[in-house]
Amino acid sequence: ISASSWWKDSLDKIETPDNKTLTFTLKQIDAWSFSSTNAGSPISSSIIPEEIAKAPDFMDKELIGSGRYQFVSHENGANFKIKRFDKWRIKGEPWLAGIDYKLIQEQAAALAAFSSQQIDSVAPNNKLERDQLDQKHGKAIEIDNDLSASIWTLEGRADGPWADPRVRQAVNMAIDRNEFIALMNFGDGQVSGPIPPGFKSYALDEKELATLLKFDAAEARKLLAATSFDTSKEFELKFYVPGDRPAQFAQIVQSQLQKNLGLKIKLVGEDFGTWLQKSLYGSNFSGFITYPTLSYDDPSSYVGSYTKSIGGRENWSKFFDDELDALVNKQKQILDDRLRIEAIKDIQRKALAKAAPFLPIFVAITSTATWGYVKGRVRGRGSYGLFTGQAYIDKS
C-alpha cells in the first residue's frame, strides 16, 4: 500500500487541528480518496508512528500496530495468529481473546475440520460443497452468500509476439466463460466485464458483454491465422499454489487455448510470494498469468490495470496506451456521479476494443459457512468489521 499512487500523487498532507479531527489536503482532485485502496484502507485509517510514516517501505516488510488485535506469529507467511489488545480504547472490546487463521491446503480436510468444530468458519469452494454442508448441519450453521467482487482473470502480455492486438483479440474470443462457471462453480456464477456486475451502475450490462466477450472458436482461429503468431512455440501460464481453484482455473485456460487456438501452454505453479513479487509485479511470465482480483470497494481500482503504471510499478503486462492512461486518470477528477459512471463505462469499452491483455472471465457466488455459536459477526464486504466488530463465542 505504501506504493499506492494516491499516497504519492494525490495526498499533500494530513493535519490534526484538534483531538477529534483529521484534515486531508490533496494535491489534486480524486473522487475515490476514501475508498479502501486510498485514505479509507485499514492501514491508512490507523494511527502510524511518525518514524514509520517517513519510511513507507518498512510497512511492506513488517506487521505493526496497536488496533483491536495484536499480531502474534505466523508460519512461513501462513497460519497467522492474533490476540486481543487489552489496552484497546473501548473497554471490553474486542470480545474474542484472539483469532487463528489456518491455512488448510486440502479443501476436503478443511471441510472435515469445520464439521468436527476444529475450526469455526470455512469457505465452500462451490455450490455443491455449500449444499452438502447445509444438508449435514442444517440450522446449526449459518451460510452467507454473496456475488463476489473478485474477478477470475486471465492476464496476458502486450509485447513481443503478443504486441499485435489481433492476437490478443483472438485469445479473448477463444475463451468460453460459461464453461468456467459450469466447471468451477456448478453454474453458480456470472460472466463479468472489467467492472464486476455487483457494481450495477458502473458495470456493462449482460447484453453488451455478450458482444464484447463473444465466444467464437472458429473466428478466433481465423483471426490468429491472419497474424504472424507462431503457434509452435510453447508459452508459460503461471498460477499460485497451494489451493485447488487457482490450479483448476489455469487448467481450464490451458485446455481452451489448446483446443480453440492450438496454443501450447505449459502450466507453472509457484508459491504465492514468488508468484506475486516476481511473476506478477515483475512481469516475469512469457504467456499468461491467472488470478482472482482483489474485491475492491470502488470501480476505479479495477480499471487501474489500464494505466502505464500500476501501484508504482510499470504496467505488469507491458500494455502502454496513452488514451486509456489519460482516461483512467481523468475519471478520478469527475465529481458528478452520472458523468463519472459514463466515463468508466467508456473506459471498459475502449479497453476491450483495444484488446487490453487483462481479460475478465467470471465472478463466483461466494459462500462462508460459520457455526451458529459465533455471534456478532459483521456480514458483507469491506473493512467495516476490522474497526467495529464485536464477535464472540456462545456455546451455552
Q: pLDDT tens digits for 133-142?
A: 999 999 999 9
Q: What share of the chain is helix, strand, coil (3-state, %, to 5)?
A: 35, 25, 40
Residue 182 CA to residue 145 CA, distance in Å, equals: 18
Residue 65 CA to residue 259 CA, distance in Å, equals: 51
Give the mean pLDDT of the chain: 89
Identify the CA nearest to 127 among candidates 180, 184, 176, 177. Answer: 184
pTM of the model as a whole: 0.82
Enumerate long-range contacts of 245-250, CB under 8 Å, 24 or more apart: 245/125, 245/184, 245/292, 246/290, 246/291, 246/292, 248/183, 248/184, 249/152, 249/180, 249/184, 249/290, 249/361, 250/290
Q: pLDDT tens digits for 10-58?
A: 889 889 999 888 888 999 999 998 887 787 766 556 556 666 666 666 6
Q: pLDDT tens digits for 253-301?
A: 999 999 999 999 999 999 988 999 999 999 999 999 999 998 888 999 9
Identify the CA nearest to 286 among candidates 163, 157, 168, 170. Answer: 157
Confidence of residue 1 (pLDDT cuts 50, 70, 90): very low
β-strands 288-292, 309-310 pairing: unpaired
Residue 10 CA to residue 199 CA, distance in Å, equals: 24
User: What pLDDT score was predicted for residue 153?
Assistant: 98
Q: Is 370 helix (H, G, I), strand (E, B) or coil?
A: strand
Q: Is 100 helix (H, G, I), strand (E, B) or coil?
A: strand
Identify the CA nearest to 361 among candidates 224, 274, 257. Answer: 257
- What one-character-per-residue DSSP string does 120-180 give? SEE--SSHHHHHHHHHHHGGGEEEEEEEEEEEEEEE--SSGGG-SHHHHHHHHHT--HHHH
Mean pLDDT for the stretch of residues 346-375: 96
Q: Is 232 helix (H, G, I), strand (E, B) or coil?
A: coil
Q: Please identify which residue in the block is written with the cell numbers 486510498.
A: 38
- What one-character-per-residue DSSP string does 252-285 give? HHHHHHHHHH--EEEEEEEEHHHIIIIIITT---
Q: pLDDT tens digits for 124-181?
A: 988 999 999 999 999 999 999 989 999 999 999 999 999 999 999 999 999 999 999 9
Residue 195 CA to residue 216 CA, distance in Å, equals: 23
Q: For residue 76, what are the β-bridge partners?
A: none
pLDDT at 105 over 90: no
User: What pLDDT score was predicted for residue 7?
Assistant: 80
Q: Where is 251: in which H helix or E strand?
A: helix 244-261
